[in-house]
Structure formats: structure tokens, C-alpha cells
Amino acid sequence: MTSIGSPSPFFLAGKKAYEVERSLRFNAADSAYLTRNTAAGNRRKFTISVWIKRAKFASQQIFVSTGDDGSNQGGLQFFSGDTLNFFSTIGNTYYQLTTTQVFRDPSAWYHIVAVFDTENSTSGDRIRLYVNGARITAFGTETQPSQNYDSFWNQSGKGISLGIYEPSNSGLPLGGYMAEINFIDGQAYDQSYFGETDALTGQWIPKKYTGSYGTNGFYLNFSDNSA
């Protein structure tokens, strides 16, 4: 099942500018997920920002995904050994970043920003990952796409799912909580658009995103109990 988390998962310390009130709980045993179909969007440039807290550990847990099958898909997931993996593949050719850093703290909220930008002229900047305000630069696997490569993401009639493996809407379920989910279609934004360092505590904290979302973009704050 999915359920609204309470109380607030985190607050801004030291000021009252912004407060995250709700999270959504994903129970892995129920293979709970959210999904929506996409229109024709920007397949070369998009940004995912999510705050996530782990409650169950498994070899793979996908929390954002798209795809038709194992050869044509994309995803953002906790991967083998509790690493983080961000990928896109068409025709079984993988472009991906798999971190050497591991994420094993069940008490921590992780802010994860994944950027896909194949229009970037710098080859090492076309897929990027940020966690808790810092860019990750150490990878066990780093396969960057060619310039202007069209990913599987944001194709017309395809789905984007949260908490599950999209090609089958089953398997690799997330066990944990997600909050403040932003999907930005057509823009490549770093972590500063979604978070900031608290001046009093030095802690990385949420910041309200105020930009546009593009064709397939969306924002989920889980404030509506009715649906």
C-alpha cells in the first residue's frame, strides 16, 4: 500500500520560509506504485529531484522508472550493494552512472537530483547525480551518451512510474518514503534549484522549486488526503 506519512518528514531549521508537510510511504510487500502516461516531451533534457528515506533494503529498488522492456527503459534506483544507479537504454545499449558511494542509513532523508542533458557539449556532464547538495564524481560505472542522444524518457504514450519497475508495473519495489518529487521536462537543473544549506545548522534542506515543468513535468507534495 501507499500511505501519507506523518508527521512532517523534515523542516527548515532557523527560518520559516518553507516546510515539507507530507511524505508518501511505499510498502515493498504490496508492490505499491504511482504511474502516469507521457506525451511527446524532451528526450534529451530533463531533471528529477526527490527526497527519499529507505525503510527496506534489497539488491535493487527502483523509485523512478520508464520503459517498455529490459532493452528499452530508464530508471533511478538503489542498486547492487546499496549504490545509486541512473540509466537510460534503447536497444540494450546502456548509458548510466552507478556510484561507488553507498546509501545504507534508514534514518536519513536523502535528497537525490538526477540530470539528463545530452545537448551538453561537455561529455562528462550529460548525465549527472547530486546527493544532499553535492555532486557525485566517483562511479563504479560511468557510460555517458553521445551528444544529442535521444533517451527513452519522455516518449509519447509511455509511462513514468514511482516506486516500481515501469515496464511491467511489478518487481524491484521501493520500501520507504518519498517527498517533494519534482520532474522537470526540458530543463537540466542542479541541486540548488531544489535545496539549500541552512545558515544555522549547515544541514542540506528543501527549497521550493519555482520554475516551469514542461510537457511531462510534475510536482508531488502529497498534501491531498482524498486521492
Claim: this prediction has a pTM higher than 0.85: yes
**Dist CA 132 CA 221 (whole Å):** 19
Residue recorded with cell 482524498:
226
HEC string for the chain: CEEEECCCCEECCCCCCCEECCEEEECHHHCCCEEEECCCCCCCEEEEEEEEEECCCCCCEEEEEEEEECCEEEEEEECHHHCEEEEEEECCEEEEEEECCCCCCCCCCEEEEEEEECCCCCHHHCEEEEECCEECCCEEEEECCCCCCCCCCCCCCCEEEECCCCCCCCCCCCCEEEEEEEEEECCCCCHHHCEEECCCCCCEEECCCCCCCCCCCEEECCCCCCC
pLDDT of residue 10: 54
Length of the chain: 227
pLDDT of residue 12: 45
pLDDT of residue 6: 44
pLDDT in tens, the chain (227 residues): 444 454 445 554 445 567 888 999 999 888 889 999 999 999 999 999 999 999 988 888 999 999 888 889 999 999 999 999 999 998 878 899 999 999 999 999 999 999 999 999 999 999 999 999 999 999 999 999 999 999 999 999 998 999 998 877 778 889 999 999 999 999 999 999 999 999 888 999 999 999 999 999 999 999 887 76
> For 172-193, what is each residue's pLDDT tens digit?
889 999 999 999 999 999 999 9
pLDDT of residue 69: 85
